[in-house]
Amino acid sequence: MRLSAQDRRRLLARLALALVSLWVALSILFLLAKVAPADFLTVKLANLENQGAGQRVDEVIGQATVTTTTKSAGLGTTLAEVAEREGVPLGLLASLNPNLDAHEPLTRNLRVVLLDGEWLDELAVRYRVVLREDADDGVALLRSRNPDVTFSSIGGRAYAREGTTLTLHEGVSVAEFATLRRLTAEDLLEVNPPGSVGNPDGRLAAESILRHGDPIILPIGRITEAAIRHRLGIAASLGERYATFLWDTVRFDFGASFQTQEPSLAVLRSGLAKTAQLNLFALIVALVIGIPLGLVAAGRAGFKSRRIGRLLSAVAFVVPSFWLALLLIIVVTPDGLFDGGIWTIPITDPDARNITDSASQFFALYSIPALSGGLLLAGLFATAIRRQLTQAADPVQLSSLLRALVDSLRIYLPAFVGLNLVLELLFNINGLGLLLLQRIYQADSPVIVAIVAVTALFLVWSFLMLDGVRALLERREQAA
């Protein structure tokens, strides 16, 4: 169906409004997560260096021997999935792990041999040839410093074979040595006073060259302000940070978690399925309850039936979801309203989190939060349907019914999703709501930004789709 000029203008206007809305949401997120807490967190974390800070004598590492790369596979993951995730050919993994079946689920904490050597970028970061953000430069440096070594590659990613001895550097200045540990030269000189192991003759300075095997004292348990400002992403100017934030968000590159060092999107994906299941279940409940209530309240049934329908829809709309959830817990669980209870809510059962693991346990866990979260939306559905169908010539016209549902979702979708995130906390469902609360407590800024940004993008996209559906319904009604 060809769009008219008016429809194209409306579509472009909606797209522009969606982009502006998303930009405003991301800008507010930037201010809250990247600007407002910056100085507070810097000072607070920097003060920790006075709590348990210590020192240790270390040696400057100039050479390293390559070992085998192994990685924990995760419960239920297959060797084929590991190969796809890590970008390593399945045949290579199968040859390195001859005792494992490629398609059989792996047990908990099993370490899989991933590579008969080590990736050069990971070696460069681990042995502090370069900082993590300069890993590609580290690969080039290791190649140039080891001209006699033959490096292999998989998918364009270079690695060194097991048993290879690599030269990391011939010498490094105190200033560079400190920078690669996110310290300053002053930090190192402070813990290496004249007469110490690392500075026996008192001549150690920022430009002094350290060689392989030279002892030096390192501060441990010490958090410097420079390291914290880099970790929080607040070392650059405000304009540069804002531009970088927007560009990284567009590319869905939110950085690594402060807590686990995993990519933030990987952490987000771990809770996304649970949140999607709860919201979909609650939406089904809202439709199953709200549509009949709306039809009864707007239908040609008796006066009492209409009044009852309107009363039930009003009650469904005003009852707080968390209060209803707490009440239902008392009703269904043993030793609550009934001594024997109706069923036990499997709050601690991991199989209850996914419908594919155990359908019975899934419904036992999700039924109450889905009913509590969906009932509020059901009341809104019923009220909108009653109003729409009362005004329509035919009280059971399908287009009027769909318009009422779409209008309700356009108004209430953010609150619906937000309330379900709260219900996740109540029922210990490790979705995005519980994950977000945990990461706020831990000040894990990258994961917080990832969750809020993706949620905002979903809501903006949903509003755009709902606007499109509503416009299509209006056009069909006009054509009819």
Q: What pLDDT does residue 29 have?
A: 76
Q: Which residues of the chain have pLDDT under 50?
A: 1, 48-52, 302, 395
**How far is 455 from 117, CA to CA, in rounded Å?**
40
Q: Are 122 and 145 in contact (CB under 8 A)?
A: no
**DSSP characters for 434-478?**
HHHHHHHHTT-HHHHHHHHHHHHHHHHHHHHHHHHHHHHHHHHHH
Mean pLDDT of the chain: 77
Ordered DSSP codes for 226-251? HHHHHHTT-SS-HHHHHHHHHHHHHT
Which pLDDT does position 49 carry in this prediction?
A: 44
Start-to-end Cα distance in the chain: 16
d(CA 249, CA 133): 17
- 386 in the Ramachandran plot: left (φ > 0), alpha (ψ -120 to 50) or beta? alpha
Helix, strand, coil % (nearest 5) of the chain? 60, 10, 30
This prediction's pTM: 0.57
Cα(14)–Cα(23) distance, integer angstroms = 14
H/E element, 167: strand 165-167
Residue carrying structure tokens 């690669």 = 180
Structure tokens at 84: 């796809």
Question: Tell me: the pLDDT tens digits for 205-244?
Answer: 999 999 988 898 887 655 555 666 666 666 667 778 788 8
pLDDT in tens, 9-44: 776 777 777 778 778 877 887 777 666 555 555 555
Q: What is the pLDDT of residue 285?
A: 84
- The 157-161 sheet, strands edge to edge: 117-119, 157-161, 152-154
CA 325 to chain centre: 26
